[in-house]
Structure formats: structure tokens, C-alpha cells
């Protein structure tokens, strides 16, 4: 982000903060406070790139979140959405891929502070110790987690989730067997690695194009409790709780603050995601909506 845009975002966030906070408190009193889920990939002070945040930046994020929000797990996010009981501003922390650097600072920090975290792992990379393709393409094949590290994280209370077997783009996959391999069999692999049930799935890339009906059906059939997208959105009560919406934990602190103050433009601009989960659930449309009891959130500036 350019310095000019960053300054503008800082100014907007400061000016809007009192109004947004008042409207968020009103929604919380009604049990309708939006719930945030941020996602990260790699926390490290070496080889910075678009999916890496420094140790100091991550610490600043966590300090801010602990000071101003309740830190909860994905299961609690779902409970609040499903029961329409969201009375506090809350955030859930997640990670994607499975970078080895994360066990040096980020995970010990979260474990020491008792902060819930869901850590989504690409199983083939961990099992075979293969660097991620996007890092190889940049000429920097960064280390991935080992099976032992993933197991230790699980034993320490970190929720381990599935991020496919090979970090695939589901918008380009149409073979049912490949989809099943990347979802159901990847889940089986991961459960064998950690010796416990895997409850959540996160789509690589996580944009609307990747959230295909075929993949979501297999997610449901495989016994997952829910799936995560990554296109940037909030979790609102009375909506579909199976789809967990996340935003990127951007290194720019101003962006994090803007997301967490609940930017109404992002609510209005959220894309519609439709899918069907037979036989237990019917057609689902997961478009951003705010009920009539909280119209002020949608109209905030």
C-alpha cells in the first residue's frame, strides 16, 4: 500500500472509530456483534514476502486483539453465529499452509498466552517435506513444518485443520476423485499425523471461484464441522455457520484496525456464495446481510 493510501486509511479509521464503536456496542447488546477471523501464513523476520509478517508486527497484532477483543476458537464462532448470541467483540486467529518458521515465535506466543488458534496444514508438503510451490517459484524454498511439529502443536492445544493435500486451486479441478483426494483423504492423512479428529477445512486461495459446489459437498460428506474462505468478510449471526469467513492479517496495522472496527463497505460489498449440502441441509445462500434490528451497522461511515 502506498504511503498516501495508508495515510488516508489511517485518517478514515480514526474519524470513523467513535461511530463504528457505538454501533458495534449497540449490536453487541442485541447479541448481534459481528465476529472476525483473521488468517496468517508465516511469521518471521527473514525472507519477507506478501504472505509473511514480522515477529514485531505479529506481536503488535496480538497485543491489540487481546486488549480490545475476546479471543475465541472457530467452534465458538460457529456457536455464536448459530445461536444469535454474540454479545462481545471477538476475533479468532488462524494460519494457512504450515511454515516451519511459525514454531519459532508465533505459535509459542499463542500457546503461552492461551489464545485459541486453528492451524491449517497442507498435508503432502508436511509429510514429504516439500517446500510450497509459490516459494519455489520465487527462488526461496522456505522450510515447512514437520509431522513432529504439527503433532506437538496439537498436543499443546492448537487446533489443526486441513488445507488440502497439495494446495490445489479447486476452480481448476473437476475430477471427483482428485477432489476427494484433496479433501477426504487429506483429512485422513492429517488425523493419522496428529492422532485426533480434524474438524475444519480451509480452501487454498479461498476466493469465491475456489468455493465450488463439488468441493463443498465432499467437505460435508467427510465429516468436517465447517470450512473457511479467505476473500475478506465478517461472520454475522443468523447466517450460515458452516462457512467461516476470514480476512487477511495484513502487515499494515491500519488495515487490521479498519477490519476490526467493522468497515460497513466490506459488509455491503461481500460476494454471494451459494451451495447445497445434501441430505441434512438445504440450499444455502451466504451473502452478507444485516437484520433490521441492526441497520446502523450497514449504514456506518
How confident is the chain (301 residues) per 10-residue block, as mean pLDDT?
67 73 85 95 96 97 97 98 94 98 98 98 98 94 98 98 98 98 98 98 98 97 97 94 96 91 89 81 44 30 25
Rg of the chain over CA atoms, in angstroms? 19
Please state, in angstroms and rounded to a whole number, the distance separating the CA atoms of residues 158 and 114: 10
pLDDT, residue 279, reads: 61
pTM here? 0.89
pLDDT, residue 205, reads: 97
pLDDT, residue 1, reads: 59
Superfamily of domain covering 3-298: Glycoside hydrolase/deacetylase (3.20.20.370)
- Please list the alpha-helical segments (H only) found in 139-212: 147-155, 176-180, 186-194
pLDDT, residue 23, reads: 81
Mutual orientation of helices 106-113 and 55-68 as an angle, nearest 10°?
20
> Would you state the cell numbers that stand for residue 78, as one nine-digit string?
460457529
pLDDT digit string, tens, across residues 58-102: 999 999 999 999 999 999 999 999 999 999 999 999 999 999 999
Please state, in angstroms and rounded to a whole number, the distance separating the CA atoms of residues 199 and 187: 9
Cα dist from 169 to 96, 207, 233, 266, 276, whole Å? 14, 10, 20, 24, 20
> Would you state the cell numbers that stand for residue 88, as one nine-digit string?
462481545
**DSSP tag of 166:** S
Per-position DSSP letters for 263-290, written without gaps between them: -HHHHHHPPP-EE--TTTS--EE-----
Cα dist from 28 to 79, 90, 256, whole Å? 15, 10, 20
Please state, in angstroms and rounded to a whole number, the distance separating the CA atoms of residues 8 and 273: 31
pLDDT, residue 2, reads: 67
Strand extents, DSSP E, the chain: 35-40, 42-43, 52-53, 70-71, 90-95, 117-121, 159-162, 200-202, 226-228, 243-244, 247-248, 274-275, 284-285
Amino acid at each position: 500500500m502506498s504511503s498516501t493510501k495508508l495515510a488516508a486509511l489511517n485518517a478514515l479509521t480514526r474519524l470513523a472509530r467513535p461511530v463504528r464503536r457505538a454501533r458495534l456496542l449497540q449490536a453487541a447488546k442485541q447479541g448481534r456483534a459481528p465476529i472476525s477471523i483473521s488468517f496468517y501464513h508465516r511469521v518471521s523476520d527473514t525472507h519477507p514476502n506478501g504472505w509473511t509478517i514480522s515477529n514485531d508486527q505479529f506481536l503488535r497484532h496480538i497485543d491489540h486483539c487481546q486488549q480490545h477483543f475476546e479471543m475465541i476458537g472457530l467452534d465458538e464462532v460457529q456457536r455464536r453465529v448459530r445461536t444469535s448470541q454474540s454479545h462481545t467483540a471477538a476475533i479468532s486467529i488462524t494460519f494457512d499452509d504450515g511454515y516451519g518458521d511459525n514454531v519459532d515465535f508465533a505459535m509459542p506466543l499463542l500457546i503461552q498466552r492461551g489464545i485459541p488458534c486453528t492451524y491449517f496444514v497442507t498435508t503432502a508438503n508436511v509429510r514429504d517435506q516439500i517446500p510450497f510451490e509459490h516459494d519455489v517459484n520465487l527462488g526461496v524454498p522456505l522450510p515447512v513444518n514437520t509431522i513432529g511439529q504439527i503433532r506437538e502443536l496439537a498436543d499443546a492445544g492448537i487446533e489443526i485443520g486441513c488445507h488440502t493435500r497439495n494446495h490445489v486451486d479447486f476452480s481448476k479441478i473437476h475430477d471427483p476423485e482428485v477432489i476427494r483426494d484433496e479433501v477426504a483423504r487429506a483429512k485422513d492423512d492429517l488425523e493419522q499425523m496428529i492422532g485426533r479428529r480434524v474438524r475444519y477445512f480451509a480452501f487454498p486461495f479461498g476466493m469465491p471461484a475456489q468455493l465450488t459446489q463439488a468441493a463443498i459437498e465432499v467437505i460435508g460428506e467427510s465429516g468436517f464441522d465447517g470450512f473457511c474462505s479467505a476473500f475478506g468478510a465478517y461472520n454475522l449471526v443468523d447466517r450460515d455457520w458452516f462457512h467461516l469467513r476470514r480476512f487477511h492479517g495484513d502487515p499494515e496495522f491500519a488495515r487490521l484496525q479498519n477490519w476490526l472496527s467493522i468497515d460497513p463497505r466490506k459488509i455491503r460489498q461481500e460476494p454471494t456464495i451459494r451451495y447445497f449440502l445434501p441430505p441434512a441441509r438445504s440450499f444455502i445462500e451466504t451473502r452478507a446481510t444485516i437484520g433490521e434490528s441492526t441497520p446502523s451497522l450497514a449504514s456506518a461511515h
